[in-house]
Amino acid sequence: MEVQITGDSAMVAQLAPIMANPQIAGVLGKIVRVGSQRAIQTPQGDVQMIVANKFLVMVTGSAPADAKSAYAVDVTKLSKM
């Protein structure tokens, strides 16, 4: 698995409103919870989430979808940055 964290970029600013709207986000994939954070799980099992409207966290790789969604990112600490 690979975890990518992107912060303060134009891509985050564009994706945040899309991922905040469940109807639009549902088109991108299945809405799941990673801890208390809402995330999108793509058909390939990759997980994407926006943290504090500042960071885009993506978990990708060849691991099973359950393993990717269970991967713990401490969003509480990340949101305080």
Specify whether the CB–CB gap between 32 and 39 falls below 8 A: yes
* Distance from C-alpha of 23 to C-alpha of 60, rounded to nearest angstrom: 23
Render each residue's pLDDT in the chain as its tens digit; 81 residues.
Answer: 898 888 888 888 888 888 888 888 888 889 888 877 888 999 888 999 888 888 888 989 888 888 887 765 666 677 777
Specify whether the CB–CB gap between 34 and 45 falls below 8 A: no
Q: Which domain holds residue 49?
A: 2-79
pLDDT of residue 46: 92
Count of structural domains, the chain: 1
Q: pTM of the full predicted structure?
A: 0.80
